[in-house]
């Protein structure tokens, strides 16, 4: 009998997980079958996630609320998706994107559905990478414009983190808290606000 697991992730310890837990309960997942991480999705080195993967067996199903709960790096998501579905033969269901549901048998219809799910992931990976490139470009343009205005960035030995604009965008959209943004960037509150202002973010 296949087992149903739920994976929940928030970026920081002060973020609320109740919405994701409620979504899992609605699809019949018991609380003791939920695995919860409260940390960045930049990679898959997360204790609860790793424990979940080790516990899963063939034909088990992992439910996640949205694809970004699995991770933030779509290239790594593609590889992890391949490992889970092709090597471990575990099914994945993304609740807010029904097309990303690999539960299937060997019928032609289900094979097509699996193909479409893989294709959608490839498209999401492309879009996410393009967005990261655009964010980096806008950050570089912001730095150049600020320097042209004569803005001094202080100690040149403390560079602006490469993902600064991306984290600021997530903070603006309330995906992460201020403390969560500071933790990801490993900068102080004053540094954060100063660079947001100088870069026009």
Phi and psi torsions of 91, nearest 5° = -90, 150
11 is catalytic: yes
- Cα(169)–Cα(164) distance, rounded to whole angstroms? 9
Element (H, E) at 40: none
Q: In the chain, which ranges are continuous DSSP H helix?
A: 18-26, 47-55, 67-70, 74-82, 108-148, 164-172, 178-185, 189-198
Helix (H, G, I), strand (E, B) or coil at 36: strand
Q: 11, 70 in Cβ contact below 8 A?
A: no
The one catalytic residue in 11, 104, 177, 190 is: 11
Identify the DSSP state of 84: I
Q: Is 144 exposed, middle or buried (0-12, 13-18, 19+ CB in 10 A)?
A: exposed
Residues marked active site are found at 11
């Amino acid at each position: 009998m296949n087992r149903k697991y739920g994976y929940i992730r928030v970026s920081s310890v002060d973020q609320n997980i109740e919405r994701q837990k409620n979504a899992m309960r609605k699809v019949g997942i018991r609380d003791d079958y939920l695995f919860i991480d409260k940390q960045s999705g930049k990679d898959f080195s997360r204790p609860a996630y790793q424990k979940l993967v080790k516990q899963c067996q063939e034909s088990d199903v992992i439910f996640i609320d949205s694809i970004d709960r699995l991770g933030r790096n779509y290239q790594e998501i593609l590889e992890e998706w391949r490992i889970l579905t092709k090597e471990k033969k575990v099914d994945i269901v993304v609740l807010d994107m029904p097309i990303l549901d690999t539960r299937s048998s060997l019928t032609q219809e289900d094979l097509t559905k699996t193909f479409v799910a893989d294709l959608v992931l490839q498209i999401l990976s492309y879009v996410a990478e393009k967005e990261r490139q655009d964010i980096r470009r806008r950050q570089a343009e912001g730095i150049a414009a600020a320097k042209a205005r004569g803005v001094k960035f202080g100690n040149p030995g403390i560079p602006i983190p490469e993902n600064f604009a991306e984290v600021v965008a997530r903070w603006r959209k309330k995906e992460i808290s201020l403390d969560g943004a500071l933790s990801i960037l490993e900068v102080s509150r004053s540094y954060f606000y100063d660079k947001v202002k100088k870069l026009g973010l």
